[in-house]
Structure 1
Amino acid sequence: MPYPVDPIVLSYVQADELLKAHKQTLSAVDISPDLGLTTVSVALSEQGISFEKGEQLSWQQIEKIKRSDVNCFLLEDDTIRPIQFFSEATNRMCSLLPTRRTPSMLIAGFTMHRIVDIDPMQDTHKKIATITPITGRVLDTATGLGYTAIEAARNALEVVTIELDPGAQYIAHQNPWSRDLFNNPHITQLMGDAYELVPSFEDESFSSIIHDPPVFSLAGELYSGVFYQELYRILKRGGRLFHYIGDLNSKSSGTVTRGALKRLQEAGFKRVVRRPEAFGVVAYK
């Protein structure tokens, strides 16, 4: 499925800029129609704003966007709708979460990226940096918005990425920052449960693995010894696995970290190193 052509997606960040320009009685202002990727000029009037191709927003609509700090909005046919999806497959609500720059995603109230004092894309770069250089075939066990797959695909021969939740896939499809997930020929997307799909992969078929599962309470099986054994099996000798866990110094993540370290070593990984700057660990085969 290709990414939609030039959708207009706005958040409270752009709404705030528009309202300030209106207060200054400006007739035009540059804003981003895609959450910070590009900018365009829009015309301002007493009624609202107009984009170059004729799309319009009223000031009432812009005020509504400004009031929401947990949703991004898609503009279609001069109406706005929050980018969110209730997934019957997982019984969870997914939504595109705005930040000052790269958006994140909320699933069942949990943020899928670090957003405190860090940008979600910076968060992604820190994860990727733990296993660079990226070469060959890479497995990304949890697609989400696809940032990890997109960044890994800049150097990998192929990135295979797995997504369980159709809701998350829907949100990614509406997110301008995720467009390369659908357009990059080096990315292969699989829909399904990583716990069930990983055992179907051949032995030593991946050079690197990025394991960035949801929190333990949402996907405990992806932290299990059985799953770690499968990851060890499909990783090439000399390969590295990055496992995102959370703040290694926090009380809650500390308990999960100790269990994960023990099970990774029991699965066969010869060395497991804490990488607190990336909120995870790297396991070496």
Structure 2
Amino acid sequence: MVVLSHYQVKLVLDALRNGLGTLSMSLDLGLSTTQLSVDAHGLQLPNGELLKLRDVEEIAKSTSSCFVIDDGETRAIQFYSEATERVYSLYPTIKAPTMLVSGIPMHRIKDTDPHQDTLEKIRAIKPVVGQVLDTATGLGYTAIEAARTAEHVTTIELDPAALKVCELNPWSQELFDNPKITQLIGDSFDVVAEMEAGRFTRVIHDPPAFNLAGDLYSGEFYRELYRVMRNRSLLFHYIGDPESKSGRSITAGVIRRLEQAGFRQVRRAPRTFGVVAMK
């Protein structure tokens, strides 16, 4: 599978302008590099296919999409969900891509990148050990990073359309390959309510924006998270920019409801745009 964005194909156009017949570039959004041949007709791919120059130029023009090249066809990685009436697409950055949900990025990308954003969330509740719950799979970055040190990770995704994006994202492949990760499909509000008590030592709650998933910010849901956590376990809850007007208001409400649900040592984690709490 070849997946490209404007960051990668820019190298192809630069090579042609400089009269070069070969170049080293990534075919998996920056995870690895490959030596390839290029000429006025296009880019010669390892499987023998030719990525035509007009397709290279089309990808270069699109700064907000990633493209999969398969059987000679080039298409943007984007899916519409009839279940949620949302559009999911893969948005390129200089490093790991993020996912747009109806145009809203699911990771911080200003002054950081999705991979670094994920690492900072993990560090907020280190060491990440034992049984881990990830309440919102997204592109799977949280589950993948948590599984590096945890005994096991259970991750929940509301919309199968989001997982279709994951399947085509090179940075998400460990989500499907790592036996330490279990994927569940459903609404976290309902799925967590069916889980046994005292199961998890770490919970990473990184829900969609408040206006998209208000029930995942409710006291009722926080009580369920508290129930499924072990004593002295840690919760990281991503909220959003604490310096924004809406962020300040939402953060204050989240802290109040977490404390009412029984959590203690609830503290702001401004570096990661969230809060940390202990059961």
TM-score grouping bracket, smaller chain normalisation: over 0.9
Instruction: Give the drift of 1:49.
Output: 1.0
The within-5 A match list for 1:27-106 is 27-106=21-100
Aligned equivalents of 2:63, 2:159: Cα separation in 1: 23
Q: Is the 8 A contact 1:41 1:51 kept in 2?
A: no
Aligned equivalents of 1:151, 1:135: Cα separation in 2: 11
Residue number among 65, 90, 111 corresponding to 1:117 in the alignment: 111
Residue number among 228, 236, 239 corresponding to 1:242 in the alignment: 236
Instruction: Tell me the equivalent position of 1:273.
Output: 267
The within-5 A match list for 1:49-198 is 49-198=43-192
Aligned equivalents of 2:45, 2:272: Cα separation in 1: 40
Aligned equivalents of 2:223, 2:158: Cα separation in 1: 20
SS in 1 for 2:173: helix
Aligned equivalents of 2:39, 2:242: Cα separation in 1: 51
Instruction: Tell me the equivalent position of 1:14.
Output: 8
Normalising by structure 1, report the TM-score: 0.97
Code of the residue aligned with 1:108 in structure 2: it is S
Percent identity over paired residues: 51
Equivalenced residue count is 279
Code of the residue aligned with 2:94 in structure 1: it is R
Residue number among 2, 23, 26 corresponding to 2:20 in the alignment: 26
Instruction: Give the drift of 1:203.
Output: 0.9
Deviation per CA, 1:142-185: give whole Å up to 9, x if none.
00000000000001111000000111110011000000000000
The within-5 A match list for 1:255-270 is 255-270=249-264
Q: Is the 8 A contact 1:89 1:166 kept in 2?
A: no
Q: Is the 8 A contact 1:14 1:31 kept in 2?
A: yes
Code of the residue aligned with 1:210 in structure 2: it is I
Instruction: Give the drift of 1:272.
Output: 0.5
Aligned equivalents of 1:79, 1:46: Cα separation in 2: 19
SS in 2 for 1:162: strand
SS in 2 for 1:222: helix
Query: Over the residues paired in the alignment, what is the CA RMSD in angstroms?
Result: 0.7
Deviation per CA, 1:242-266: give whole Å up to 9, x if none.
0000111111111110110110000
User: Runs of 5+ in structure 2 lacking a partner?
Assistant: none
Instruction: Give the drift of 1:52.
Output: 2.3
Aligned equivalents of 2:46, 2:103: Cα separation in 1: 36
SS in 1 for 2:220: helix
Code of the residue aligned with 2:65 in structure 1: it is N
Instruction: Tell me the equivalent position of 1:203.
Output: 197
Code of the residue aligned with 2:182 in structure 1: it is T
Instruction: Give the drift of 1:51.
Output: 1.5
Write out the 4+ residue segments of structure 1 that deviate beyond 3 Å after TM superposition. Answer: none
SS in 2 for 1:114: coil
SS in 2 for 1:190: strand
Code of the residue aligned with 1:146 in structure 2: it is G
Aligned equivalents of 2:193, 2:20: Cα separation in 1: 59
Residue number among 219, 226, 231 corresponding to 1:232 in the alignment: 226
Normalising by structure 2, report the TM-score: 0.99
Aligned equivalents of 2:212, 2:246: Cα separation in 1: 14
